[in-house]
Structure 1
């Protein structure tokens, strides 16, 4: 695996992990009633997901241009990590909204 691909794969793992962590922190903040922090953590998670998508897009573009890479366990893990982080962030948004709704009553 070349250096560029490894960099992109590690970007998926790193940014995906950051997004999931921020999303978890958003839920924790909402649970305490700190919706300003919860909203900021959701924004941070979304920003990390954007960066992860940039890494993923680079890999997909190279593939589409015929520059095929060998798929390794690390590659699969990075994609799995990204998809889990996207789902977790989406769910965190809903949970924060639920806490906000409960807090308003």
Structure 2
């Protein structure tokens, strides 16, 4: 596996994990009625996902150009981090919105 591919894989792991962490922190902030912090954490999660997608796009571009990436446990693990980050961020947005509704009542 070449260095560029390894960097892309590590980008998926790192930024996907950051997105998940920020999403969880957004929920915790909303639970404490700190909605400005919750919104900041959701934005940080979104930014991390953009960076993760950039890493994934590098890998997809190589594949489209005929340079297949070796599928290893590390490759699968990186995709898992990205998908978990996406799922947590999507759910965190909904949970933060629910806390906002509850706080208004």
Place the TM-score, normalised by the shorter chain, in its bin: over 0.9
Structure 2 residue runs of 5 or longer lacking an equivalent are none
Structure 2 counterpart of 1:16: 16
Name the counterpart of 1:79: 79
> Structure 2: how far apart are the matches of 1:70 and 1:5?
9
Q: Which whole-Å CA distance do the structure 1 matches of 2:68 and 2:37 have between them?
A: 42
Matches within 5 A, 1:55-94: 55-94=55-94
User: In the alignment, what sits opposite 1:43?
Assistant: 43
Structure 1 unaligned blocks of 5 or more: none
Counterpart CA distance in 2 for 1:78 and 1:34 is: 32
* 4+ long deviations beyond 3 Å: none
Deviations 1:30-49 (A, max 9, x none): 00000000000000000000
Deviation at 1:58, TM superposition (A): 0.3
Shift of 1:69: 1.6
Relative to the length of structure 2, the TM-score reads 0.99
Q: TM-score, normalised by structure 1?
A: 0.99
Name the count of aligned residue pairs: 105
Q: Which secondary structure state, in structure 2, belongs to the residue aligned with residue 4 of structure 1? A: helix
Alpha-carbon distance in structure 2 between the residues aligned to 1:97 and 1:70: 41
What SS does the aligned partner of 1:8 have? Answer: helix
